[in-house]
Amino acid sequence: MATITTRDGTTIYYQDMGSGQPILFSHGWPLSSEAWDRQLVDFAHLGFRTIAHDRRSHGRSSQTWDGNNMDQYADDLAELIEQLDLRDIILVGHSTGGGEVTHYCGRHGTDRVAKIVLVGAVPPIMLKSDSNPEGTPIEAFDGIRAGTLNRAQFYKDLSMPFYGFNRDGATVQEGLRENFWLQGMLGGLKGHYDCVHEFSEVDYTEDLKKIGVPALVIHGSDDQIVPIAAAGLKSAKILPNATLKIYEGAPHGLAETLPEKFNADLLAFIKGEVSVDHEQMLIAQPIA
């Protein structure tokens, strides 16, 4: 088990595969590094070093009473990057992980970062307000907090809209639903509860303004968890050097439901290409 110990004594678990330019993946709530399984393996096969960590109080990292906030998440990420001496990094953040990598850049700079990718990410801010009328009302997040206190059933239910399986005509993948539940239950209740505030009420606008490196914003038009109007559409306008890709009809967990398309777009962005043929692109090599 690969881990680092942060300055406050927290153990952060991480996966580390392959060699080459590093791609660091940051997961969404309430998941773990396993949410990036396909990307970790596929891009390691392609000659990249792929890393994904379990955020504190998530997955196999320490379940902490304190520090379950975005400042500390960003500092933990900085310690991981520094201890592994990662440079020229491609940072990829999904959902809450998009907030984490954005806040890392705003708080610690981009000297070690080559490019950043935000996928169904929570910036600039999810909460509805007079200045953000496209946002989600606080009552919805209060409902998530209440659900988290009964998380065994709540996570099972949440997996349906997370992957768009509640839509008419959708093919439900029970394996994805069970994996979502297993990852969620592995983390800590206190940390998951605290994290709801961090993905819903933290404003990442000033962080986005500081990110001058090339950025790719990917968002599903049918994202029921982080609706695109208050998130991807706005982030792409705030980032100084952004490209926006909208996946029509795609759900929040699109990297898992559409891995070939997502991986091809990510590879094209890393290589500086405009587009690729998703049907002809084969990312993963056979695993013996």
Residues identified as active-site: 95, 223, 252
Please give the structure tokens belonging to residue 203. Answer: 């404003």
Report which of 214, 235, 213, 215 is spatially closest to residue 223, judged by C-alpha positions.
235
Q: Which two tokens stand for residue 155?
A: 């996570």
Identify whether 137 is preceded by a cis peptide bond (ω within 30 of 0): no
Distance CA 211, CA 219 (A): 19
Q: What are phi and psi of 191, to 5 degrees?
A: -65, -40
β-bridge mates for residue 53, sequence order: 14
Tokens 């792409």, residue located: 236
Q: What span, in angstroms and rounded, lies between the C-alpha atoms of 66 and 194?
A: 9
